[in-house]
A and B are shown apart, each in its own frame.
Chain A
Amino acid sequence: MFELLFIPPLFILVFSFFNTQKTKKILPFISALILIPALMLLFQQEKFYWHQYIHIDSLAKYILLLSYIVGIGVTLALESLQKHVSISIQEYKRFYRFFATFWIGMILSITANSMGLFWVGLELATLSTVYMIKTNHTQFASKEAWNYMIVGTIAISLILFGIILIYAAAKPVLGEEAMLFTQLQSAIHTMNAPYLFEIGFAFVAVGSFIKMGFFPMNLWLANIERASHYPVAALFSGILESAIMTGFFRFSLLAKSINESHLIGFTYIYALFTLFIVAFLIYRVKDFMRLFSLSGIEHMVLIAIFWVSGGYFAALLHFGAHALLKPALFISTGILESKGKYHIAGALRGFQGYKGKLFALLVALFILAIIALPPSPIFFSEIFGFSAMVEMAKKSHHLLLMFTAITFMLFLLAIIFYKFVDIYQQMKYSGSEEEKNVYSSDIAALIIFAVAVMILLANFKTLQTIV
């Protein structure tokens, strides 16, 4: 069953060597094939595959399903890529090639039980993203591809450094099995090297945070998503950040068993500082791509905080909602900014006909959903998350401190909310009308994401059983 997951990406890899003009229509169906093994996995019991290196638990199943939906949506949006931006046939083929490589790496890292395999998948995905950025033929994009290559590989190397230190801490007790998450989780209290483990976790956390664009790398991510074509940004926010977050989930569960107060202090200080910077960066933003990528950082901060506070359900709900809404917004950005015009004012005006009206409605709903207006899943997850934070503080002597932190966070979220509403009004009511084209594949992709968000809203009970 697990082997079947790799068939669609391999097909896409093979098809990228043929004439994509002819095969373009088939590719979304091929990527949709992946839903069959994914759904079969969903309704199976837990299993170990392949010498304990791969272990698909319910968390991995959930994240796999999310990333598949994003993958299918992006393959749909790739169909009309040539109509929105200028890209040569050769580059287009390469885009598909590296997209397939990226997908293989992603599946490996999400399902890995061995820390090393998780890292190998992540590195494969990172390196293939580098070339996907390069498919945009501008000076800016090639400079940003180098930036991504250097900063991304440093971040990944820090993660591997931490993994080796954790392995070194656990090896005297577990031997060769110290690489496996499940074994580590069960034998964490027999470990007699907590200090070494915590150094390792600090390296892993800093590496993951750099990769997700936390302080001091906020603008780095925004520039990269600005420079690349819009499907790259969608993949980045929907799948790559999810895979890194998966790693952070698993490692922070380990760190929680070792020393909870250290973990919480470290994550809170780092995340709140990031949120403070990002809120003001969002306030002075001037184009869609940077707006959405900075808002992605904000959501990652919230997910990390909810997860370490013990609000697992809130974190997973927020995670799922973000992984579905953000790629949809990035794909619609490609249409809003068609013909290379970046202005925000009047972006939602000038859509003619049935498709255009539907598109404008969907984008408006997505923008209002991403800033947590009810009944968006993000609204519920924030309510549950803040209540989990208060619950956690009740058990310690830091209730007042926690209330201060929550007030501070709400103040920063209010700034972001104000900016988004302001931008929405500019899109809708100011600026001049221009003719913009919407294609069926874009609409189909957006509808897939909208339906997936609806399904997510209907399945709170299932999410509560994941962790």
Chain B
Amino acid sequence: MGNFFIGLFLSTLITAILTTRLYRLFVWYGLNSIFLGTAAIIIGSNIADTAMIVSGSIAIILKGFFIPYVLKYFSKKFDTERNIQPSIKIQYSILLIPAILVFTFYLVDPIFHAYNKNYISLSIASLFLALVLMIEHKAIFPKIIGFLIIENALFLLAMSATQGMPMLIELGIFFDLLMAIIIINLLLTKEVRHV
């Protein structure tokens, strides 16, 4: 069951790369975080790890609902352009995404632990795909979403490859994420649309 949700996580990420509308991008990011949190809760209950269940629930509430809502509020407040065209054409993206996935599976091939090999390759692939999402857009909000999806990829790696990080580190990461959102709020001004 955890595998199923991780698959959904990857599919929402790929859809986010191909999307051309800003609010739809927020929705995909929210769904991505919800599937990730659900997978964390399922894996955590399988190995009886309370810390992972807690951080999965925090991820669902914070990243699935709160952050997309805040970002939507910012984009309304600063009146941003909602039509975001990727600068990489869709036919090339369709070739690039599987290439990245195949490459990461090839990369982790020499690892001996058979149990979590695929998860490691999937999280490295999501890191690269999030970088693609950042590269292909000129507007600022997709870049922020790309950064947040990198955080999700980190979370996926932490929960699958290591069966849970120490709780203190998890909380530190959440705290830094909130700090990042505060900083983004301070940085957003009327005149900055494109970087």
Q: How far is the CA of A179 from the CA of B161 in the complex (A)?
A: 14
B115-160 contacts to A (CB < 8 Å): 116, 120, 124, 127, 131, 134, 140, 143, 147, 150-151, 153-154, 157-158
Contact of A157 among B151, B163, B172 (CB under 8 A): B151
B195 at the interface (CB under 8 A from A): yes
Cα distance, A168 to B184, chains bound together (Å): 32
Q: Residue among A154, A164, A199 with the most chain B CB within 10 A?
A: A164
Q: Are B172 and A127 in contact (CB under 8 A)?
A: no
Contact B154 A161 (CB under 8 A): yes
CA distance A168 to B112 in the complex (A): 12
Instruction: Note all chain B residues with C-beta closer than 8 A to A139.
Output: 191
Q: What CA separation (Å) do A161 and B152 show in the bound complex?
A: 11
For chain A residues 42-67, which have a beta carbon within 8 Å of chain B? 53
A134 on the B face (CB < 8 A): yes
Q: Mark A316-342, 1 if CB is under 8 A from B, else 0.
A: 000000000000000000000000000
CA distance A131 to B187 in the complex (A): 8
Please tell me which one of the listed residues B157, B163, B166, B186 contacts residue A165 in the complex, with CB atoms under 8 A apart. Answer: B157
Residues of A within 8 A of B157 (CB): 161, 164-165, 168
A149 engages B154 (CB within 8 Å)? no
A145–B175 CA distance with the chains assembled, in angstroms? 21
* Contact (Cβ within 8 A) A165 B161: yes
Q: Kindly identify which residue among B166, B176, B189 contacts A123, using a CB–CB cutoff of 8 Å.
A: B176
- CB pair A176–B140 under 8 Å, yes or no, is no
Minimum CB–CB distance from B105 to chain A (whole Å) comes to: 13
B147:A146 contact, CB within 8 angstroms: no
A262 to chain B, nearest CB (A): 13
* Residues of A139-162 whose CB lies within 8 A of B: 139, 142-143, 145-147, 149-150, 153-154, 157-158, 160-161
B112 with A142: CB separation less than 8 A:
no
Verify if B173 is at the interface (C-beta below 8 Å from A).
yes
Candidates A143, A153, A172, A176; contact of B192 at CB < 8 Å: A143
Asked whether B147 lies within 8 Å of A127 as measured between CB atoms, the reply is: no
CB contacts (< 8 Å) of B183 on chain A: these are: 127, 130-131, 149
Residue-by-residue, is B4-46 near A (CB-CB < 8 Å gives 1, otherwise 0)?
0000000000000000000000000000000000000000000
Which A residue's beta carbon lies closest to that of B123?
A161
A171: B residues at CB distance < 8 A:
162-163
CB pair A154 B131 closer than 8 Å: yes
Q: Is the CB of B162 within 8 A of A167?
A: yes
Chain B residue nearest in CB terms to A170:
B162
Contact pick for B172, options A120, A154, A172, A192, CB 8 Å: A120
In whole angstroms, what is the CA distance A334 to B154 when docked? 40
Q: Does any Cβ of A come within 8 Å of B99's Cβ?
A: no
- Write the chain B residue with the least CB distance to A153: B147
A157 to B148, CA, bound (A): 10
Flag if A117 contacts B172 (CB, 8 Å). yes
**Closest CB in chain A relative to B50 CB, distance in Å:** 14
CB contacts (< 8 Å) of B176 on chain A: these are 120, 123-124, 127
Q: Which residues of chain A are within 8 angstroms of B84 by Cβ–Cβ distance?
A: none
How far does the alpha carbon of A27 sit from the alpha carbon of B46 in the complex, in Å? 54
Could you tell me the distance between the alpha carbons of A151 and B62 in the complex, rounded to whole angstroms? Answer: 24
Give the residue name and chain of the A residue nearest to B147 (CB). Answer: A153
A193 within 8 A of B: yes
| Assembled-state Cα–Cα distance A158/B166 (Å) | 19
Q: Are B195 and A116 in contact (CB under 8 A)?
A: no
Q: CB-CB < 8 A to B150: which residues of A?
A: 153-154, 157
Bound form: Cα–Cα A199–B109 in Å: 12
The residue in chain A whose Cβ has the minimal distance to the Cβ of B153 is A161
Inter-chain contact A124/B187, CB cutoff 8 Å? no
Contact A117/B191 with A171-B162, A199-B107 known, Cβ cut-off 8 Å: no
Contact, CB under 8 Å: B158 / A164: yes
Picked from A116, A142, A149, the residue with its CB within 8 Å of the CB of B168 is A116
User: A residues 188-206 with Cβ under 8 Å of B?
Assistant: 192-193, 195-196, 199
Question: Knowing A124-B179, A150-B134 touch, does A134 contact B186 (C-beta < 8 A)?
Answer: yes
In the bound assembly, the distance between CA atoms of A143 and B108 in angstroms comes to 38
Say how far A98's CB is from chain B's closest CB, in angstroms. 9
Chain B neighbourhood of A153, CB < 8 A: 147, 150, 180
- Assuming the contacts A127-B176, A150-B143, A157-B154, asked whether A168 and B192 have C-beta atoms less than 8 A apart, the reply is no
Across-interface contacts of A193 in B (CB, < 8 A):
111-113
Bound CA–CA A220/B163 (angstroms): 37
Q: With A and B bound together, what is the CA distance between A195 and B112 in angstroms?
A: 9
What's the nearest-Cβ distance from chain A to residue B56, in Å?
16
Which residues on the B side are within 8 Å of A164 (C-beta)?
154, 157-158, 161-162, 165
- Interfacial chain B residues near A147, Cβ < 8 Å: 195
Are the CB atoms of A154 and B192 closer together than 8 Å? no
Q: For B163, what are the chain A residues with a Cβ–Cβ distance below 8 Å? A: 171
Q: What are 28 A-B pairs at a CB distance below 8 A?
A: A114-B166, A114-B168, A116-B166, A119-B172, A120-B169, A120-B172, A123-B179, A130-B183, A131-B183, A145-B187, A146-B187, A149-B183, A150-B143, A154-B147, A157-B127, A157-B151, A157-B154, A164-B157, A165-B120, A167-B165, A168-B157, A168-B162, A172-B113, A179-B166, A179-B169, A192-B112, A195-B110, A196-B113
Q: What residues of chain B have their CB less than 8 Å away from a CB belonging to chain A?
A: 107-108, 110-113, 116, 120, 124, 127, 131, 134, 140, 143, 147, 150-151, 153-154, 157-158, 161-163, 165-166, 168-169, 172-173, 175-176, 179-180, 183-184, 186-187, 189, 191-192, 195
Q: A131-B186, A158-B127 are in contact. List 12 more A-B contacts (CB 8 A).
A: A114-B169, A119-B169, A127-B180, A143-B192, A145-B187, A150-B134, A157-B127, A164-B158, A172-B113, A192-B112, A193-B113, A195-B112
Give me the 6 closest cross-chain CB pairs, A-B, nearest first: A116-B169, A120-B172, A168-B161, A123-B176, A168-B162, A146-B195
